[in-house]
Structure 1
């Protein structure tokens, strides 16, 4: 199995309020810093407005991709 699946990263659940209602997105980063720049880039990558409100940011923990996907 590839090492990338065993490398631990920090996972977050970010919830935006869109015109169609709340939208949750799970993202991962190599560090534990959730910055305004990252929020703006995430919104842009998801095709959301630049001024979309953030409802919540939940830190899910440091885990491997395999653990995040399968709960193993």
Structure 2
């Protein structure tokens, strides 16, 4: 029954170019809108301990899904 009420979030695949090469992460956006703001990109990079000036190469919207569905992607 609880599976019916799981909250859905927007998930993004972000690819950064770091000193170690290309690094891809999956980011969960808690906002209701489908847009990804520059602040959210900076927060995602900071959460992964990337330097502040790490360039973002690509951002792909993976869709709106539950956390359980997103875990099956990675």
**Alpha-carbon contact 1:11-1:60 (below 8 Å) kept:** yes
Q: TM-score, normalised by structure 2?
A: 0.80
Counterpart Cα distance in 1 of 2:61 and 2:54: 20
Alpha-carbon offset, residue 16 of structure 1: 0.3
Q: TM-score, normalised by structure 1?
A: 0.82
Alpha-carbon offset, residue 8 of structure 1: 0.7
Structure 1's consecutive aligned runs of 4 or more residues displaced over 3 angstroms after TM superposition are none
Counterpart Cα distance in 2 of 1:13 and 1:36: 15
Alpha-carbon offset, residue 33 of structure 1: 2.3
What are the superposed Cα offsets for residues 34-59 of structure 1, whole Å, 9 maximum, x if unpaired? 11111111111211111111010010
Counterpart Cα distance in 2 of 1:63 and 1:26: 13
Structure 1 unaligned segments of length 5 or more: list them: none
Structure 2 unaligned segments of length 5 or more: list them: none
Alignment correspondent of 1:70: 72
**Alpha-carbon contact 1:6-1:66 (below 8 Å) kept:** no
